[in-house]
Amino acid sequence: MDYQALAQEILKHVGGKQNIVSLVHCATRLRFKLKDNSRADPELKNNPDVITVVESGGQFQVVIGNHVHDVYTAVCSAAGINEDTTPQEEKGGGNNLLNRLIDIVSAIFTPFLGVMAASGILKGLLALSVVCGWLDTASATWKIWFAASDSLFYFFPLVLGYTAGKKFGGSPFLTMAIGGALTHPLITQALDAAAQPERFLGIPVTFINYSSSVIPIIFAAWICCWLEKRCNRVFPSAMKNFFTPLVCLAVVVPLTFLIIGPAATWLSQMLAHGYQAIYAFAPWLAGTVMGAIWQICVIFGLHWGLVPIMINNLSVLGHDTLMPLLLPAVTGQVGAALGVFLATRDAKLKVLAGSAATAGIFGITEPAVYGVTLPYRRPFIFGCVAGAIGGAIVGYSQSNLYSFGLASIFSLAQMLPPGGMDSSVWGAISGTMLSLVLACALTWAFGLPRSLQPAASPTAIAGDDDILAPMSGTVLAMDQVPDATFSGGLLGQGAAIIPLANEVRAPFYGEVASLFQTRHAIGLLSNSGIEVLIHIGIDTVKLEGQHFTAHVQPGDKIKPGDLLIEFDREAILAAGYDLATPVIVSNSDDYRGVKRVTKQSTINSGMPFLTVER
């Protein structure tokens, strides 16, 4: 993948760098905030290095996949975006509240999502090590690794202060300093020695433990950025570089401890307990709904609206019940992609499905959804149905997660409670595995069009005079082929097929008589003496072999169903060529006639197609 070329292509399709308000990236997609969304061109999704394009949440989202960070770096370099770039203020206020909320949440949390997921996974692995007796919590090894896994969450206000300050258009180091004040040792000591009420300028202060908190610092950062902008308008340029931060720290930090912090903490607790009340009403129903709709939310980028709830649950309650419900939704799409991998005989789709299933195991489902399951619809539906069933089991088991991370195979380790394995963990494992197996089985059996499923090996040819269909597709009479040489019967009698898949397979027992150097056509000779020419497309000789791969050589013996040639159907069509494929009995003069066996408009590879009359 040429990242610089792709970056230029992306910039062109988002309306140029001057149309970009801000840019962040998450695990798989670039998230553009644009001045004018009408200038963005969704046709960017036709680029082979782009999985798809989504317009949602007020953002123009370009789904890249596992290479997103490298593409993000290239786009930032090409557009002149750097860490010091301040987001431009939007004009017009056309975005609705939901779009603005999702935009704020994604901009604040995405920059450190990878580190946050890694920290959660490390916590889960440490818990697994303790349960299995591999590590002792009193050992230095455990303490050092625990500090590595817990530091981000303990000092969450500092990290959120930085990203929130950038999002709200202020100095990120100033808002990070406010986050540092919330976790300062003097404040934590005051919590332990709070025998007497503390006062600030005579006003009573309620000290709260803000370590790992989320909402208080976000509100404080917004107030700080608002005040910073107004101070910069008032102070002369010679003074504002230090007077503006002085005023912000002197005003916002006390205001946070006196009003913002307690109010935001109360809101955090209400949000956590409100979610718990809904969850407690019917955990299995919550699991069913979330397992069914989570991937739909991911498609439109709406899943970010739920991320603060998960993190807030961990901060307030010490555990989260929402993330476990999502694991079956993820493994449902993994299972559907695996089902496509097992069912398809399209080599390109098989490779895509295999790599997408592998990425999905680690929590990255966009390649599976956009590239495999959603285009064929039924696999995606089967994945959602399996996710709903698995989610109901996880919800019924009331499984908890004890550290944040992407919903992936590692989440099972993060569900281990301090006391070790219990029924809730086994419930999560059962629901997750059931979702995977059910989606895979349904997709393998019913998920793909018949033309993309494995063709049943023909047991025998009806007779020595029969020719099986060498490919699946739409049948054309020879006089409908858009080429006078073929339609006029100058090369022999037969019929044509417009292929639906990318393969040519042997139509009888015999041998390869000839293979064109450009691999767009092949001559075959049956054991009974029938000479057949299979010509893939019209005028495709001009491609000079590009997009064609031969799996046989002249003189090779063949039997029905053997793979002869693979070709890139989409690329040939994109190059402007007609893919009508004549199947011609080139020694037709040796027979009384050549008849088409089937009268159906479509045919599958391996079905009876032509017969010669002696």
Pick from 326, 308, 314: nearest CA to 403: 314
Q: Is 305 exposed, middle or buried (0-12, 13-18, 19+ CB in 10 A)?
A: middle
- Phi, psi at 297, each rounded to 5°: -65, -40
- Lookup: tokens for 220: 């404080």
- In single-letter form, the type of residue at position 302 comes to L
Pick from 126, 125, 190, 184: nearest CA to 158: 184
CA distance to 29, 47, 107, 219, per residue, from 78 (Å): 18, 18, 20, 33
CA distance to 77, 267, 507, 514, 556, per residue, from 527 (Å): 63, 81, 12, 15, 13
CA distance to 161, 229, 232, per residue, from 225 (Å): 11, 6, 11
Give the rounded distance of the alpha carbon of 74 from its chain centre: 20
Compute the half-sphere exposure of residue 20: CA atoms within 13 Å on the CB side of its CA.
23
60, β-bridge pairs: 32, 55
Residues 43 and 239: their CA atoms lie apart, in Å, by 49
Catalytic residue among 26, 225, 231, 440: 26
Q: Is 405 exposed, middle or buried (0-12, 13-18, 19+ CB in 10 A)?
A: buried
CA angle 84, 86, 88 (to 5 degrees): 160
Pick from 465, 557, 554: nearest CA to 511: 557
SS3 string, 319-337, reads CECHHHHHHHHHHHHHHHH
Which H helix or E strand runs over 311?
helix 307-317
Residue written as token pair 């600030």: 200
Residue 334: partners with Cβ closer than 8 Å, 6 or more residues away = 357, 360, 361, 365, 368, 436, 439
Residues 186 and 183: their CA atoms lie apart, in Å, by 8
- In single-letter form, the type of residue at position 451 comes to S
Q: Is 26 considered catalytic here? A: yes
**Hey, is 352 helix, strand or coil?**
helix
Residues 112 and 214: their CA atoms lie apart, in Å, by 14
- Lookup: tokens for 159: 């990290």
Neighbours of 568 (CB within 10 A): 17
Which H helix or E strand runs over 249?
helix 237-255
Neighbours of 66 (CB within 10 A): 15
Residues 332 and 383: their CA atoms lie apart, in Å, by 4
Q: E-strand spans in 333-412?
A: none
Pick from 397, 394, 386, 398: nearest CA to 360: 386
Q: Is 593 exposed, middle or buried (0-12, 13-18, 19+ CB in 10 A)?
A: exposed
- Cβ 382 vs Cβ 442: under 8 Å: yes
Q: Which residues are catalytic?
A: 26
